[in-house]
Amino acid sequence: MIVAKSVYKEKKRYAFYKTFMVPTLRFSSNKCLPSIFLNFFFSQFRSAFLPGRVKISRADHPLDEKIPFVPSWITIYLDFVGFWIRLLSFFLRRYGRRVYKYAGDFILSIGKLYAFASVVYRKNLSTTKRPFYIASPRFFLIHLVDPHLMCVPSLHIMIAVYTYKMFEFIAGQFGDKENLKEQIEEMKYGAIAISHAVLFVKQHSVNCIPAALYTMTCYCPELFPPDEAEAFIRLLFSPVSVKAPKGCRVHPASSPFVNISEEAQLQIKDHIIGLYRRFIEEKENTKSWEEPILKFLNELPKVN
């Protein structure tokens, strides 16, 4: 058995190479990429340039003011694509052709995630206040390519959570969970780091996280049931959550958590759990999973 290394040491270009060379993976990519373009970029820019077609809610919450703006976390924020691509590189290198089916299904499912979330976006867009900060080229890129109209639910959170759970699932399919125990934990805290990042770079509100976790519970209840979601929420702002992942380039000493009081941290987590539970409870009396989120968005102020 190959000795497992940090997932963060994987080269993303290996996944691109294998995806191009292997027909089944190339097929999955050819299905995934159009879904991302259509359900995120095209739909969002169409709404930005043709306003009034879909109502837009303001998803901000007063607790957002207690979270500092920390531009240095932009690297982690933008790493959410690399996060799931490294999963592919890791398993393709470790298992070879034996993992092609799982890898292909995983690529397809990323495209399906975008389509799943778009059920909400097509009916009600959402935005938050974000600082116009372009001192970094990375922030300039965000302002250039992201009209910032698809906040609830957060696709960043959805993809991060789905990736870490699928990493654990695929390892289990090969009877490798014990051997990859450190890597599974690394991926979990990588998802936590991305969850922190969306808040610290002010791309999302505390309202966006519970909506994303609820959406994930609806998308794959067997992988992400309510107890798993609540355990994930409790890890937010916890001391252990800054110890990993090793490749995120954020040292615990530079953590902005010190600028958030313990009282505020508890308030934020209580709010996230409370809103997540509200969505779960309301789903019991609705015909479709998105209705609780749409009801919540309808209660929020609208963009004129």
pLDDT, position 259: 78
- Residue 144 has a pLDDT of 87
Q: Chain-centre distance of CA 283, in angstroms?
A: 22
Give the per-residue pLDDT at 197.
Answer: 92
pLDDT at 1: 53
What's the pLDDT score for residue 255?
61
pLDDT tens digits for range 158-214? 999 999 999 999 999 999 999 999 999 999 999 999 999 999 999 999 999 999 999
Low-confidence ranges of the chain (pLDDT < 50): 241-247, 249-253
pTM comes to 0.92
**pLDDT recorded at residue 213:** 98
